[in-house]
Structure 1
């Protein structure tokens, strides 16, 4: 199972990265997790527009889903005709949210291009991948994910404040891809985001083997968050960067 960081900037794109987007590949299957601002362009460096097998959206804030509107255009108006509907798994109301973002009627909206499925807490399969979704602490309906393949585990926080559900998702994971939007010591907003120290504490409590900090906004000190995470977690820690590839297994 391979993880490619397509975009990792939090809240808005940075000069070096689009917003959240991650490509997971296993046995020829390609899953895109989140598709935030600017991510569709960067995705094409790693995967053909029509080679994606499914999309998984953690929540419906723009920095995690808004490029689905551009993806609808790319698929709907493809030279040679629209491909078969692409499975899209997201929170309740995903189809309506994306239709409003593109200023189209909610019915049929984008449903002739995307095959929408509503996420709930629990486990399901996408191709060869076993996905466990659990609600996390964010102001809107939001999910973290545990993705398993061939005895290896990738955990993804989505956007969240500290919560036990994330620790459970990350239990013994080979890699925890964890947001670190805030900086420890500054005023944090409860149930919104993690700071570097909290990300490290989560990885340590879960027994994760590797921690990659992501969703760090351009105004946040990445070096400070890395130092805070390393102080709380004894394993390897690094910051995500657009284009990085991680091989699990």
Structure 2
């Protein structure tokens, strides 16, 4: 496999809590020697260590602060400062506004604020945020999840992957995913109850978003517990003509 290719390794894709063999949402992005941990859901830090140590990461990117996408930042903090890891500098951490204070409020147990900035150099995302991390270009867009939440387009070597994070179908995600090589999109099992704000994609929605964006490939993730992954793939495929896969834990996808 060409190490310069953009690669996505699935650390976990369960929701809203991990199963015995599948952590919550978390992925490792890599190209050449660049490594980015994308979402840090419950249980993903353990799986991350199959591929990279914390001190080998170039950055962490967090879509939103629900626990199934961010909880392992808490254990990563302890790992980065109080164990066998020796950081040359705090790990760049890109996340929604308030990420640092949210972590500090949980970790602080005395009148002295826990020094989360000793482990993470926190950069707050905004709509249209763009950063170059080694070989990877990350462009973030605000999406519709009822709280501050972001999707991201990752580009390297002329190829592109778009990750929805958690969101209802929205124009900003479709625009971000335009012409991408792959759309990694959540596929919750059911529609929101009548009268409630929609905050997730169903499998059918994920297929429609992929089609509207003219994505070359769809990878469904964050599949609700009332569905099997195969059912989610089949439902998404009714609305999308391209190849559809499931983000199974441990799977690696290569683009380019």
Give me the TM-score of the superposition, normalised by structure 2.
0.91
Q: Which residue of 2 aligns with 1:14?
A: 19
Q: Which residue of 2 aligns with 1:174?
A: 181
Q: Which residue of 2 aligns with 1:132?
A: 139
> Does residue 1:118 correspond to 2:98, yes or no?
no
Rate the CA distance shift 1:230–1:95 in 2: closer, same or farther, 3 A.
same
Rate the CA distance shift 1:106–1:231 in 2: closer, same or farther, 3 A.
farther
User: 1:99, CA displacement in angstroms?
Assistant: 1.7
Q: Is the 8 A contact 1:21 1:39 kept in 2?
A: yes
> Does residue 1:191 correspond to 2:221, yes or no?
no
User: 1:222, CA displacement in angstroms?
Assistant: 3.0
The structure 2 residue matched to 1:44, chosen from 46, 49, 66, is 49
Distance 2:241 2:216 in 1: 9
CA displacement 1:124-156 (0-9 Å, x = unmatched): 212221111101010110000011111100000
Structure 2 residues without counterparts, runs of 5 or longer: 1-5
Q: How does 1:44-123 map to 2 (within 5 A)?
A: 44-79=49-84, 81-104=86-109, 107-122=113-128, 123=130
SS at match of 2:63: coil
Q: How does 1:151-230 map to 2 (within 5 A)?
A: 151-183=158-190, 187=193, 189-230=196-237
> Does residue 1:231 correspond to 2:232, yes or no?
no
Higher mean C-alpha displacement, 152-161 vs 220-229: 220-229
Q: Is the 8 A contact 1:55 1:87 kept in 2?
A: yes
Distance 1:22 1:205 in 2: 25
Q: Is the 8 A contact 1:156 1:178 kept in 2?
A: yes
CA displacement 1:192-218 (0-9 Å, x = unmatched): 111000000000010101100001133
Distance 1:14 1:217 in 2: 12
Distance 1:37 1:219 in 2: 20
Structure 1 residues without counterparts, runs of 5 or longer: none
Higher mean C-alpha displacement, 89-98 vs 124-133: 124-133
SS at match of 1:213: strand
Rate the CA distance shift 1:133–1:82 in 2: closer, same or farther, 3 A.
closer
Distance 1:248 1:152 in 2: 6
Distance 1:217 1:19 in 2: 11
Give me the TM-score of the superposition, normalised by structure 1.
0.93
User: 1:48, CA displacement in angstroms?
Assistant: 2.2
CA displacement 1:61-101 (0-9 Å, x = unmatched): 11111101100111101347554211001010001111223
Q: Is the 8 A contact 2:151 2:173 kept in 1?
A: yes
